[in-house]
Amino acid sequence: MIGLISATAAGAAARDRLAAAWPDRTRVYDGPVGDAVRRAFAECEQLVCFLATGAVVRLVAPLLSDKASDPGVVCVDEAGRFAVSLVGGHGGGANELAVSVGGLLGAEPVVTTATDAVGVPGLDTLGLPVEGDVAGVTRALLDGEPVALDAETAWPLPALPFAAQARTPGMPAVRLTDRAVEPADGEVLVRPPSLVVGVGASRGVPVDEVLDLVRGALRDAGLSPRSLAELATVDAKREEPGIVEAAARLAVPLVTYPAEELTTVEVPNPSDAPLAAVGTPSVAEASALARGGELLVPKRKSARADGHASMATCAVVRRPARGRLAVVGLGPGARDLLTPRATAELRRAAVLVGLDQYVDQIRDLLRPGTRILESGLGAEEERARTAVEEARRGQAVALIGSGDAGVYAMASPALAEASDDIDVVGVPGVTAALAAGAILGAPLGHDHVSISLSDLHTPWEVIERRVRAAAEADLVVTFYNPRSRGRDWQLPKALSILAGHRQPATPVGVVRNASRPDGTSRLTTLAELDPAWVDMMTVVTVGNTATRAVAGRMVTPRGYRWQETAVEEVR
């Protein structure tokens, strides 16, 4: 919950705008400002104070205890010009909150955290547990000193400016490990969630028996409990109180699998007892290995001090790192049409793959240390394969394309290459058709279709059949890739097909470089369109029989009222 505190009418007005925008996330604190701040500080995860920073500093200073637990505090000035991240920039999320508040109120976010200021992600913002000299190693990164990355296991981290050379004595380092080791001087341990513990148990197993077994197995194997990702078991035990409570105390999810699925998992120690009880010869080992991985601790039984028979078994597996592939649509080119989600994915990536001219558009958004793999026109499938291969190596990868990545762009070839051994995230973008439509007016107000006129990958006979179908169905048609130096006859042919079903005065919009500074647009008709106006940077939108030019804008009504009115007038 975000507590909102104000002292003046101007502050209250901005406060109320924020409360209206986030009704489920905010709570307004009225009354004397000092009391309001103290109550909000105790009850909320974050605060937005519409007060002077000096006043907020004096009010919250006596309340501060630890940056890991203190709420994030953002200040907004009386004029609503700035949203200042004051306290808890990373741990309390104040930096991100300042950006969000600024976006809603039209205020400039002010973030002074050193790592954010220079674009280096803070080691404590990776979303993974960290131990050791976080401040010292972060300072070395900020100062440009060589910092080594010692990755004992692959994991998709964002870009960090690590040294390329091997670690030398005294060099600061980030060590990615799930082993139970202590950080050395000048070292930060980053704990990936790489360990899965499979648990089998008899009905009524005590929670302490499960916890002692799991913790003992990790300890004896020299593994860190901070890298525990989940407990796993068979579906029949999904509501077993001892297992459910153990997962809760360990603060990890409980994942369960059907018995018939676990029977297909090869294990070294099958048993008749679980087969008779729950229908699978293995629970602990099979559930731990259900999604693959390396068996680090084979099945072991709990030991009971009272001499009674063991009621629990467990096994520990190091699961394979899953790389992350974000397929990102950059939009039509204008920076303000690049979505915040796309920007976040670009800054999360350690590896960027893309067409060289698209890389140039967003190079300034990448974090220091991002590895860039760029290539020229015509290498789409190669880029897709490269991105998937990098993700399979456990990297965090962004594969970029213009417009929306799923529309005549990189999502299709990438997903054709990707299997279920990596995580794939689609990031939508504003398409060229949408950007051109907004410039032209509202040409896509009714049913519409996009058709690429490039026959490099699709036979012309197929393209022509689709154009005819769109013409007969009276759909608004947007042509992508309409004309190039080597393909100058396809657009006239497609227009002639449409002309067989539409009047010569049918509006046609021609937009080149939609949304970019050198963009141009013109509204013409089917009869007057000159194909020489068109190139590969152009989108051509042809209206249907109801589309009209209204005040210089291309408009397709949501219904056919205009068409019906025209028929009535003829009658």
Label residue 530 by pLDDT band (50, 70, 90): very high
> With contact defined as beta carbons under 8 Å apart, do 355 and 383 qualify?
yes
Lowest-confidence range among 43-52, 145-154, 325-334, 357-366?
145-154
Label residue 562 by pLDDT band (50, 70, 90): low
Question: The tokens of 328 are what?
Answer: 């990102």
> What share of the chain in percent tops pLDDT 90?
56
* Contacts for 182 with CB less than 8 Å, ≥ 6 apart: none
Residue 112 has pLDDT above 70, yes or no: yes
pLDDT attached to residue 260: 95
Label residue 508 by pLDDT band (50, 70, 90): very high
Question: The tokens of 297 are what?
Answer: 């601790």
Question: The tokens of 418 are what?
Answer: 């990707």
Label residue 92 by pLDDT band (50, 70, 90): confident
Output 279 or 116, whichever has higher pLDDT. 279
Residue 566 has pLDDT above 60, yes or no: no
Phi/psi at 208 (5° precision): -65, -30
What is the pTM for the complete model shown?
0.72
Lowest-confidence range among 120-124, 238-242, 261-265?
120-124
**What percent of the chain is helix, strand and coil (3-state, nearest 5)?**
35, 25, 40
Closest CA to 501 of 533, 463, 545, 535: 545
> What 3-state class would DSSP assign to 540?
strand
Tokens 């107000």 correspond to: 445
Dihedral angle sign, alpha carbons of residues 42, 44, 49, 53: positive
Output 13 or 168, whichever has higher pLDDT. 13
Phi/psi at 150 (5° precision): -105, 95
> With contact defined as beta carbons under 8 Å apart, do 393 and 413 qualify?
no
* Contacts for 269 with CB less than 8 Å, ≥ 6 apart: 282, 285, 298, 299
> With contact defined as beta carbons under 8 Å apart, do 397 and 390 qualify?
yes
pLDDT tens digits, one per residue of 135-148: 888 888 777 788 88
Residue 500 has pLDDT above 60, yes or no: yes
Q: What distance in Å separates the CA atoms of residue 257 and residue 191, rounded to the nearest whole number?
A: 26
Question: The tokens of 282 are what?
Answer: 């293995």
> With contact defined as beta carbons under 8 Å apart, do 163 and 147 qualify?
yes
* Contacts for 334 with CB less than 8 Å, ≥ 6 apart: 435, 515, 516
Label residue 561 by pLDDT band (50, 70, 90): low
Helices (H), ranges, 318-364? 340-348, 356-362
Question: The tokens of 475 are what?
Answer: 């759909």
Mean pLDDT of 111-125: 64
Q: What distance in Å separates the CA atoms of residue 9 and residue 3, rounded to the nearest whole number?
A: 17
Mean pLDDT (the chain, rounded):
89
Question: The tokens of 208 are what?
Answer: 């302490």
Mean pLDDT of 95-113: 84
pLDDT tens digits, one per residue of 26-48: 889 888 888 888 888 889 989 99
Residue 490 has pLDDT above 90, yes or no: yes
Number of H helices, E strands in the chain: 19, 28
pLDDT attached to residue 165: 63
Instruction: Tell how strand 507-512 and strand 254-257 pair up.
Output: unpaired
> What 3-state class would DSSP assign to 94?
helix
> What share of the chain in percent tops pLDDT 70?
95
> With contact defined as beta carbons under 8 Å apart, do 73 and 92 qualify?
yes
pLDDT attached to residue 262: 95
> With contact defined as beta carbons under 8 Å apart, do 204 and 188 qualify?
no
* Contacts for 308 with CB less than 8 Å, ≥ 6 apart: none
Label residue 465 by pLDDT band (50, 70, 90): very high
> With contact defined as beta carbons under 8 Å apart, do 298 and 268 qualify?
yes
Mean pLDDT of 215-239: 96
Tokens 């306290």 correspond to: 87
pLDDT tens digits, one per residue of 229-262: 999 999 999 999 999 999 999 999 999 999 999 9
Q: Cα(first)–Cα(last) distance of the chain, in Å?
A: 64
Tokens 């000193």 correspond to: 145
* Contacts for 96 with CB less than 8 Å, ≥ 6 apart: none
Residue 565 has pLDDT above 60, yes or no: no
Tokens 């401040």 correspond to: 135
pLDDT attached to residue 571: 40
Residue 15 has pLDDT above 50, yes or no: yes
